[in-house]
Amino acid sequence: MCRPKDPEKQDCSLCSGEIRESKNMFFGTCSYDTCKLYGDCYYSDLGGVFGDKDCLPKSAVGCTYSTKEDCVGKPDAEKDIKVDVTYENGERTGTTNRITQQSSDYFSFGTCKWQTYTDMDGLSQGVCIKDADGDNAPDCLED
């Protein structure tokens, strides 16, 4: 498959849902591996336009990766973002606020962090967030 090098001409939606069904059956079902063939695209299973999976353009991803490996890298080389910052009573105090380590995420944004939490059933879960200010809270929340 030939894909345009110009990101403006890449179309990740050709891999997803109803659009793919009507326009491009060459690769069959869209998957993690085939999504990449359409350009700077990411296959997300966090919920999409046409169901529970979608092939998204880089501009729509941010740090909303589906897996820990995509968020912070392979297990032997995981890197969360690290920021030179401390908080006291919710206020930043006496630090540089510089990013001292970038994350090893899929698109190399460098601002991703994998956070674990316990769900309502007591099971450990994880989520990838953007945390460029080092406050351990997502920088970008959907409305």
Instruction: Specify burial of residue 132 (Cβ count, 10 A radius: 0-12, 13-18, 19+).
Output: middle
E strand or H helix that includes residue 34: helix 32-35
Q: Which residues contact 123 (CB under 8 A, 6 or more apart)?
A: none
**pTM for this structure?**
0.80
What confidence tens digit (pLDDT) does each residue in 2-60 have?
A: 777 787 888 888 887 655 455 556 667 788 888 888 889 999 887 544 456 788 999 88
